[in-house]
Amino acid sequence: MVLIDDLSTALKEAMKAKDKPKLDAIRQVQTEIAKKKSEKGEETTDELVLGVISSYVKKMAKAVDEYNSLGERGAEMAEKIQFEIDFLSQWLPEQLSEEDVEKLVDEVLAELGEVDMSQMGRIIGAVMAKGDGIDGSIVSRIVKEKIT
């Protein structure tokens, strides 16, 4: 089953169950997919859907941090957004642990030999090319720690 079909099925189930939080999350992602599709004139592929969900989840993770920084005033909104993140993450590939990412960084650094900060983009690109489920922000942080 294609991811867009899976989202549509989840939307129908959420409508039947009158599950407003799930409905909101799915509709938001479907809106983002439609925007991306019309901007680029692309077909709705699993890659497009995964990219939109991944981007949305990353954006919402930053929003959760911002709402949490407001203390009690932002707690309710942070909780709502965290639910969306958790719900939508079921369609994303499983993320590698920080330890596994560090191993990949070590492998790439060993392959490249001596490196400096000017090659950071090249190093990050090589690590990201090693597979799915790799969080770029974790890679960036680990690479900075290792080469400085």
Q: For 60-86, what is each residue's pLDDT tens digit?
A: 989 998 999 999 999 999 999 999 999
Amino acid at residue number 33: I
> Domain extents for the chain?
3-91, 98-147
**Selection from 139, 60, 54 nearest residue 94 by Cα:** 54
CATH class held by domain 3-91: mainly alpha
Q: How confident is the model at residue 1 (pLDDT cuts 50, 70, 90)?
A: very low
What per-residue confidence (pLDDT) applies to 25? 95
145 neighbors 102 (Cβ within 8 angstroms): no
- How far apart, in Å, do the first and last CA atoms of the chain sit? 45
Q: Any residues with CB less than 8 A from the CB of 37 and at least 6 apart, and which? A: 43, 44, 48
Q: What is the pTM of this model?
A: 0.71
CATH code of domain 98-147: 1.10.10
Token readout for 12 is 């129908």
Four-residue CA torsion sign, 43, 50, 54, 106: negative
49 neighbors 84 (Cβ within 8 angstroms): no
